[in-house]
């Protein structure tokens, strides 16, 4: 096939034009353009010929093809000139108007661009093209990147027209621009509009969430938050805003969104427990969520016991104490709180505490826990019996007798006269002069229907019955057992002034015991012999005693009280140590004050009291008790020096220079170089000299 003769075709076209044959010229140019489409000059000439031949559409087609190509290639001025040529021929040519607007925008002539776009908008409005109008509104609005308000209007128009991509793009870009300008409110408005256009857009949602969380409107954050992590952030925002109820609601949503998130469930459990809503707390608290947190185990214990789940509750208490033994006081508080509305639930908690203490051999701590409970529920028979049992096993006699008395009263209140009689008899046997015990005994006898309770009491106190007999029958005499009991040798006689005083009341012993003399002896003498028998003294036979029975019993009572006081003081001191270990300082102070009544315990108890008051910054009380301790004999020389040093330092701190100097001098004279006593003496001496 022969190559196309472009030059020949063009010459033929020129001849035709000179001859006035325009159609022939058009034919020749058409051949050239068809053979070589990128011959833009020939195409432009062909377009002009079409216009001259009144074939406007074909001419515009050629001009448009050339202009579009030039625009695409970046020849904006040439393309613009052709579009203007088109618009002169057809002013409402939308394509030319749009392209002219784009070219003007690219070249920075925004006014020309707006004019061209507005012309297109007017054309579309005239023909009722709403979608086309919206498109032009968007183009007009987005024409100037710095005109943010216009861009927002354009974005809204795009959203209304269903152009989600354009609307979302514009809203986000405008929001970022506002943020750069530090216009938070305007930025937030743009982000909100973007979220309404596309709630699934993650960038927009996270922007809104962060803004809402840092502001005063957590309810807005709740609308955009998803997932447990974000819901927890919203709950924290509610908490900061003082909206606790809303915070719990959102945390509940977080727990539902992620059931494996233990921290959320723990927070909910703590919150509902603090509000006293144990039913709601139970929804979120379990052995799993309690984990290794002893406080949560105690919370779980309280809920289980309050709900009647005894085994689970006791187990929870045990778990708490196994994790942290120092939670014993908190567990006692839980038990006492439960006891206010449900004594049985409270007892189970306290009993578990006692079991934990007994497992470590700490009878005093076990007794303290039960004692706290019986103060609040004084008629709980099982608790009182357990307390007595622990006191017996732990040899806590003073507490045991107090518990026995309380148990006897509880039996009396319950109408159980037999048990009350047994205990009250034991109490009267120990302290026959105690009117409260005698009254319990009488009430028990009356409850049992005894016709003459006073006669029974008198018989018991006479010493003729085994109840208070001085000589006990050995019913095992002559019996043998698998493990023979080897009798211990009698203890050597111990000098006791009180026994000597009683012995002095009687004449010297006779070589042989005269039963006849015993028969005619007075009742006073018989009771005196019984008293001496109880004190391991042989019963002398004598004439009537020089003192009355009341005097003898008074002496016995004083001696018994002295021994009981010593035992009670030792027990009070032991309990004080337990109270202090459990953090129950007020109870420790009370027990120590009781212990100081005994000379044997006074130094240790008063020293500890002084130091406890120092910890409380109650200097006046601290000095008083430290001085009392200083007046008592110290168990060791070092303990005495340490006490004097603490006393002197305390006096110095409160400005008692003279008294402090005197104590330091005493300490230095006794020990010679104890700690920095000499330095204190030098300093205080100078102060005294200046004064």
For 258-276, the pLDDT digits (tens) are 887 877 887 887 788 777 7
Residues 80-107 as b/e (b if ≥16 CB within 10 A, e otherwise) read bebbebbbeebeebeebbbbbbbbbbee
Query: How many Cα atoms are found within 13 Å in the side-chain-facing hemisphere of 643?
Result: 28
Note the pLDDT of residue 2: 66
End-to-end CA distance of the chain: 136
Distance (Å, whole) CA 413 – CA 409? 6
Using an 8 Å Cβ cutoff, are 74 and 104 in contact? Answer: no
Distance (Å, whole) CA 261 – CA 597? 57
Residue 170's pLDDT band, with cuts at 50, 70 and 90, is: confident
pLDDT at 611 > cutoff 60: yes
User: What percentage of the chain carries pLDDT values higher than 90?
Assistant: 31
pLDDT at 412 > cutoff 50: yes
Note the pLDDT of residue 476: 60
Per-range mean pLDDT, top range of 260-269, 453-462, 471-480, 676-685? 453-462
Residues 493-506 as b/e (b if ≥16 CB within 10 A, e otherwise) read eeeeeebeebbebb
Looking at residues 581-596, what average pLDDT do you find?
A: 84
Note the pLDDT of residue 551: 52
Residue 109's pLDDT band, with cuts at 50, 70 and 90, is: confident
Note the pLDDT of residue 1: 59
pLDDT at 494 > cutoff 70: no
- pLDDT, one tens digit per residue, over 504-548 is 444 444 444 343 333 333 334 334 344 334 433 334 433 343 344
Note the pLDDT of residue 409: 95
Residue 543 carries which DSSP code? S
Using an 8 Å Cβ cutoff, are 245 and 277 in contact? Answer: no
- pLDDT, one tens digit per residue, over 179-235 is 889 888 888 889 989 888 888 888 888 988 888 888 887 888 888 898 888 898 899
Looking at residues 564-578, what average pLDDT do you find?
A: 78
3-class DSSP state of 411: helix
**Which residues are CB-neighbours of 215 under 8 A, at least 6 positions away?**
none
pLDDT at 468 > cutoff 80: no
Using an 8 Å Cβ cutoff, are 448 and 417 in contact? Answer: yes
Distance (Å, whole) CA 327 – CA 658? 45
pTM: 0.49
- pLDDT, one tens digit per residue, over 373-391 is 999 999 999 999 999 999 9
Distance (Å, whole) CA 117 – CA 101? 6
465 CB-contact burial (10 Å; exposed 0-12 / middle 13-18 / buried 19+): exposed
Note the pLDDT of residue 276: 75
3-class DSSP state of 118: helix
- pLDDT, one tens digit per residue, over 657-673 is 888 888 888 887 777 77
Using an 8 Å Cβ cutoff, are 273 and 300 in contact? Answer: no
Residue 558 carries which DSSP code? H
Note the pLDDT of residue 563: 58
Residues 370-387 as b/e (b if ≥16 CB within 10 A, e otherwise) read bbbbbebbebbeebbbbb
Residue 350 carries which DSSP code? H
Using an 8 Å Cβ cutoff, are 98 and 117 in contact? Answer: yes
pLDDT at 465 > cutoff 50: yes
Average pLDDT, the chain: 81
**Which residues are CB-neighbours of 344 under 8 A, at least 6 positions away?**
none
Percent composition of the chain: helix, strand, coil (DSSP 3-state, to 5): 75, 0, 25
Q: Among 310, 307, 313, 309, which residue's Cα sits nearest to residue 331?
A: 313
Q: Which two tokens stand for residue 325?
A: 């033994």
pLDDT at 480 > cutoff 70: no
Q: Among 355, 385, 389, which residue's Cα sits nearest to residue 369?
A: 355
3-class DSSP state of 484: coil
Other Cβ atoms within 10 Å of 635 Cβ, number? 12
Note the pLDDT of residue 569: 79
Looking at residues 48-66, what average pLDDT do you find?
A: 92
Distance (Å, whole) CA 33 – CA 39? 6
Q: Does domain 560-690 have CATH number 1.10.150.20?
A: no
pLDDT at 496 > cutoff 60: no
Distance (Å, whole) CA 553 – CA 463? 13
Distance (Å, whole) CA 299 – CA 312? 12
Least confident of 63-67, 219-223, 226-230, 462-466: 462-466
Note the pLDDT of residue 321: 95
Note the pLDDT of residue 688: 72
Distance (Å, whole) CA 118 – CA 139? 10
User: Could you give the C-alpha distances from 485 to 141, 145, 434, 488, in angstroms and in order?
Assistant: 112, 110, 36, 9
Which is higher by pLDDT, 247 or 581? Answer: 247
Distance (Å, whole) CA 539 – CA 510? 11
3-class DSSP state of 472: coil
Q: Which two tokens stand for residue 473?
A: 């029958």
pLDDT at 108 > cutoff 70: yes
Alpha helices in 90-226 (DSSP H): 94-106, 110-126, 130-141, 148-160, 164-180, 184-197, 202-214, 218-224
H or E element in which residue 13 lies: helix 6-18
Q: Among 617, 613, 597, 616, which residue's Cα sits nearest to residue 605?
A: 597
Note the pLDDT of residue 440: 93
Note the pLDDT of residue 512: 43
Q: Among 428, 365, 426, which residue's Cα sits nearest to residue 391?
A: 365
Using an 8 Å Cβ cutoff, are 441 and 561 in contact? Answer: no
Least confident of 274-283, 433-442, 594-603: 274-283
Q: Among 436, 434, 406, 432, which residue's Cα sits nearest to residue 419?
A: 406
pLDDT at 250 > cutoff 80: yes
């Amino acid at each position: 096939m022969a190559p196309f003769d472009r030059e020949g075709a063009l010459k033929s076209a020129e001849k035709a034009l000179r001859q006035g044959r325009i159609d022939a010229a058009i034919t020749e140019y058409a051949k050239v353009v068809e053979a070589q489409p990128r011959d833009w000059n020939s195409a432009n000439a062909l377009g002009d010929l079409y216009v001259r031949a009144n074939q406007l559409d074909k001419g515009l087609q050629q001009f448009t093809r050339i202009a579009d190509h030039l625009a695409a290639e970046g020849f904006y001025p040439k393309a613009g000139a052709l579009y203007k040529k088109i618009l002169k021929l057809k002013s409402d040519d939308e394509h030319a108007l749009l392209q002219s607007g784009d070219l003007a925008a690219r070249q920075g002539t925004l006014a020309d661009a707006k004019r061209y776009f507005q012309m297109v908008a007017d054309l579309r409005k005239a023909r009722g093209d709403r979608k086309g109008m919206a498109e032009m509104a968007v183009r007009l609005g987005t024409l100037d990147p710095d005109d943010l308000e216009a861009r927002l209007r354009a974005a809204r128009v795009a959203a209304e027209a269903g152009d989600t991509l354009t609307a979302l793009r514009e809203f986000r870009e405008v929001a970022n621009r506002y943020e750069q300008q530090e216009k938070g409110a305007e930025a937030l408005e743009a982000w909100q509009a973007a979220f309404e256009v596309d709630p699934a857009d993650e960038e927009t949602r996270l922007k809104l969430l962060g803004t809402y969380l840092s502001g005063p409107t957590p309810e807005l954050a709740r609308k955009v938050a998803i997932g447990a992590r974000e819901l927890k952030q919203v709950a924290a925002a509610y908490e900061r805003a003082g909206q606790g109820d809303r915070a719990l609601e959102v945390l509940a949503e977080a727990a539902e969104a992620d059931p494996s998130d233990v921290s959320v469930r723990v927070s909910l459990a703590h919150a509902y427990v603090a509000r006293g809503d144990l039913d709601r707390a139970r929804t979120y608290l379990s052995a799993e969520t309690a984990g290794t947190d002893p406080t949560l185990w105690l919370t779980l214990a309280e809920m289980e016991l309050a709900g009647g789940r005894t085994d689970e509750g006791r187990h929870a208490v045990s778990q708490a104490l196994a994790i942290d033994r120092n939670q014993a006081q908190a567990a006692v508080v839980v038990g006492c709180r439960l006891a206010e509305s449900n004594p049985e639930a409270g007892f189970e908690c306290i009993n578990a505490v006692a079991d934990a203490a007994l497992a470590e051999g700490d009878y005093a701590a076990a007794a303290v826990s039960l004692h706290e409970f019986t103060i609040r529920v004084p008629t709980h028979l099982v608790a009182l019996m357990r307390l007595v049992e622990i006191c017996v096993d732990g040899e806590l006699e003073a507490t045991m007798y107090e518990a026995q008395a309380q148990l006897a009263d509880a039996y009396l209140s319950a109408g159980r006269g037999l048990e009350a009689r047994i205990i009250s008899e034991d109490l009267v046997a120990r302290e026959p002069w105690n009117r409260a015990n005698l009254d319990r005994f009488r009430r028990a006898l009356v409850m049992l229907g005894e016709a003459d309770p006073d006669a029974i009491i008198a018989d018991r106190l006479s010493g003729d019955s085994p109840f208070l007999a001085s000589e006990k029958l050995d019913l095992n005499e002559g019996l043998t057992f698998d493990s023979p009991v080897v009798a211990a040798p009698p203890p050597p006689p111990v000098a006791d002034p009180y026994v000597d005083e009683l012995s002095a009341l009687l004449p010297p012993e006779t070589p042989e015991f005269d039963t006849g003399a015993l028969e005619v002896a007075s009742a006073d003498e018989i009771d005196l012999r019984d008293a001496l028998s109880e004190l391991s003294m042989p019963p002398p036979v004598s004439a009537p005693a020089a003192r009355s029975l009341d005097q003898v019993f008074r002496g016995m009572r004083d001696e018994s009280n002295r021994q009981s006081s010593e035992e009670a003081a030792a027990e009070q001191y032991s309990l004080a140590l337990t109270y202090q270990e459990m953090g129950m300082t007020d109870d420790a102070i009370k027990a120590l004050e009781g212990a100081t009544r005994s000379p044997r315990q006074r130094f240790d108890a008063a020293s500890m009291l002084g130091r406890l008051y120092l910890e409380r910054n109650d200097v006046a009380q601290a000095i008083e008790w430290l001085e009392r301790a200083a007046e008592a004999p110290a168990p060791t020389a070092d303990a005495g020096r340490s006490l004097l040093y603490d006393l002197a330092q305390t006096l110095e701190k409160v400005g008692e220079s003279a008294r402090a100097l005197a104590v330091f001098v005493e300490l230095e004279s006794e020990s010679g170089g104890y700690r920095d006593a000499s330095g204190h003496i030098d300093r205080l001496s100078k102060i005294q000299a200046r004064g």
